[in-house]
A and B are shown apart, each in its own frame.
Chain A
Amino acid sequence: MYKIISRKEYAMLIRDRRFHILATIVTILLIVSMWAGFSAYKIIRNETDFISKESRSHWIKQGSKNPHEAAHYGSFVFRPKSELSFLDFGVTSYIGNSIYLEGHNHNEPKFSQAQESSGLIRFGDFTVAFIFYTLLPLFIIFMCFNSFTIEKEEKTLKLMLSQGIGLDVIAWGKIEGFSKCLAWVFLPCLLISFGLVIIGTPGGVSFNTFMRLFLNTIVFGGYFFVFICLSVLVSIWSKSSRNALLILLGVWVMMCIIIPKLSANLGGFIFKAPKNFEFTESIRKEVLEGIDGHHSADVRLNKLKQTILAEYNVDSLSQLPINFDAIVMQEAEKHSSQVYKKYFDSLEKIYQKQNYISDIFSLIDPFITVRNFSMSLAGTDYKTALEFQRQAEQYRYNMVEKLQNHMRDYSKTGDWEIKVNENFFAKIPEFKFKKFSINDTITQNWLSIISLFVWIQLCIRFISNLKNFKMNDL
């Protein structure tokens, strides 16, 4: 029975000029943002590929030199753009794209797009995802706010009800009709983005990427469903179209602007993250308190010396078959890495707590749910950025360790003449960022999934309960 209503709603909306104009505007915005996002993605991807290769060849062709010097020479690694990043830039625009990896130092990611480009990016990322989670709800509201109020005002609802049909059936019909109209905007965009993903992934689209796009569709579909139901419900409960529109616009401002902003600020307010300077400064201080390879007067250096001498059963460093300087430097590296890891972990915990606040708000605001989930699926969220930093640090540590160990094993203490060549540098594998699997992403977002599910369930409940709803002012 609801099919009849759905067909009618669809036929009416498709003929409605209001729908034509809004759909055209949204479609143009989507196409522009997709085009802009994709070209930016391609440029950055090509640049990153090119510079990564160049950086790698610089590393290999740095010439024969002392291993420790090579560790100082270091190399650059770049956070690869994920295939879906053009749909949702997430936080990546504000986080550095590359890290300089060298011995002794734990460098922060540098060169974010926000640093590099003009004011446009500060204006906010005008991505497909942004249009989906911010503007499409508005589009839905404008389509649906008077879905029932106009029928009350025009008395067609009374005629419809007099034909012996329940209010819930009418509501379901309307929801389906609106969804079909929305599909005219949503589905072409989805198809185009799927095409772009195929074009933008030279090696062929992986199952992981495909699943992400698929989940994205479901998540946004659910989000739109919630907004359609909400608009229809408000329209049923409202006395006039004007009231319905005012209430829905109020809901939109709360959900899409105020609560997200509030939750982010509240998270940062309750769980304060150290400022960048404080963070690096406290790491520097704690590292200094440990062994420092360049200052042999240190007490702990002596202790290490005694241990090593005892191990090899010799009296002086010159009798050692290995290079003691390299051992000291590696010990220092180990120590500073531990300190760094400790601080990094604590920082991550703070961010996690901040995100918990946001997650809690996502239970009352599906906007936050979908925004976070979309970022996560696009691989442009904060977790992915932190994971990149962690993997880069791990890679740095392994690289430096290999160099120091070579120096330790193939030279004697005080010998700074030992050299390694191209063959050795090439043996250190290239950095490859291992992305989160789809399972990881789902596990990280369990609360979002539950929250969206609860919202959808609530909507279904409310609409189905309209069966018993008494219309008083017909």
Chain B
Amino acid sequence: MLKTKHLTKKYGERFALVGLSLDIEPGEIFALLGQNGAGKSTTINCFLGFVKPTSGQVYVNGLSVVDHALETKKYLAYIPENVMLYSNLTGVENLEFFSALAGFNYTKKELGKMLFKVGLQISANDQWVSTYSKGMRQKVGIAIAIAKNAKALLLDEPTSGLDPKASNEFSNILNELAKNDTAILMATHDIFRAKEIAGRIGIMKEGSLVSEIKSSDITTNELEKVYLQTV
């Protein structure tokens, strides 16, 4: 579902990605670990078509992102590290707006249900987003992604700023989505969270995937050790 082949991105003389090859199947959760600047976000931006690869290919659902920039976005949902919304619209209005852009017209009731599902307190639904905390905005961002019914989900540090309970709820949502055959690519710093929900874990360094581990083959402590050795 999400696939790259020898993906390379050069900014001037600096390599952000070097020959990266990934293949994430429907229903699979893949976690990308790595330090800041390792190329995790660049990878996600390549899938979104916001970064044009210097060489190599990016495919979403078998379509090349470079050639089908608008169409491939239909299969993707994206949650940034810091979900920013329109501050003088309410949570429901923001969700309504973004899902309408993706071509979905939900009723107020359905929108409310989605926000409830991601754990936003009901009283916040009709408040302006300017009154929201970072965690609350993040939840709306998750709802926006869910509302799109996408075949693939791209997450850039999605749980940063979420409290442990919300973070746990989020893991449950991801598992549920994966059960329904959504391919999930998650860039994260959180080794514990990665081990818990991802099926496969890739560790990136300076634009390359240096190791790829099945999470069932390793304990959290071992994963931490591998991570620290690699980076």
Residues 137-173 of chain A: 1 if any B CB is under 8 Å from the residue's CB, otherwise 0? Answer: 0000000000000000011101111111110000000
* A163 and B98 contact, CB distance less than 8 A: yes
Residue of A nearest to B70 (CB): A164
Q: Which residues of B contact A164 (CB under 8 A)?
A: 70-71, 73-74, 76, 101-103
Q: Which of B73, B89, B98 contacts A12 (CB 8 A)?
A: B89
- A1, CB-defined interface residue at 8 Å: yes
- A471, CB-defined interface residue at 8 Å: yes
Docked CA distance A166–B74 (Å) = 12
Docked CA distance A256–B136 (Å) = 46
- A4, CB-defined interface residue at 8 Å: yes
* B88 and A165 contact, CB distance less than 8 A: no
- Are A12 and B80 also in contact (CB < 8 A) when A4-B101, A159-B98, A163-B98 are? no
* A1 and B101 contact, CB distance less than 8 A: yes
* B93 and A162 contact, CB distance less than 8 A: no
Interface residues of B in 133-161 (CB under 8 A from A): 141, 144, 148
How many A residues, CB 8 Å from partner?
23
Distance of B214 from chain A, by nearest CB (Å): 29
- Are A163 and B148 also in contact (CB < 8 A) when A4-B101, A11-B93, A158-B80 are? yes
Residues 46-79 of chain B: 1 if any A CB is under 8 Å from the residue's CB, otherwise 0? Answer: 0010101000000000000000001101101110
* A470 and B52 contact, CB distance less than 8 A: yes
How many B residues, CB 8 Å from partner?
29
- A275, CB-defined interface residue at 8 Å: no
- Are A471 and B71 also in contact (CB < 8 A) when A11-B89, A155-B84, A163-B148 are? no
Residue of A nearest to B82 (CB): A155
- Are A4 and B86 also in contact (CB < 8 A) when A159-B80, A164-B74 are? no
- Are A8 and B84 also in contact (CB < 8 A) when A163-B73, A163-B98, A474-B50 are? no
Residue of A nearest to B97 (CB): A8
Interface residues of A in 9-34 (CB under 8 A from B): 11-12, 15-16
Q: Which residues of B contact A470 (CB under 8 A)?
A: 52
Distance of A302 from chain B, by nearest CB (Å): 91
* B80 and A155 contact, CB distance less than 8 A: yes
Q: Which residues of B contact A160 (CB under 8 A)?
A: 98, 101
Q: Which residues of A contact B88 (CB under 8 A)?
A: 12, 15-16
Distance of A57 from chain B, by nearest CB (Å): 66
Distance of B231 from chain A, by nearest CB (Å): 26
Residue of A nearest to B77 (CB): A162
- B83, CB-defined interface residue at 8 Å: yes
Distance of B106 from chain A, by nearest CB (Å): 13
Q: Which residues of A contact B93 (CB under 8 A)?
A: 8, 11
- Are A471 and B101 also in contact (CB < 8 A) when A8-B86, A11-B89, A155-B82 are? no
Instruction: Name the residue in A12, A162, A163 with the highest tally of chain B Cβ atoms < 10 Å from its Cβ.
Output: A162
Q: Which residues of B contact A159 (CB under 8 A)?
A: 78, 80, 83-84, 98, 141, 144
The 4 A-B pairs at the shortest CB distance, nearest first, are namely A164-B73, A163-B101, A162-B78, A154-B84
The 20 sampled A-B contact pairs (Cβ below 8 Å) are A1-B101, A12-B89, A155-B82, A158-B80, A159-B78, A159-B84, A160-B98, A160-B101, A161-B48, A162-B48, A162-B73, A162-B76, A162-B77, A163-B101, A164-B76, A164-B101, A164-B102, A164-B103, A166-B70, A470-B52
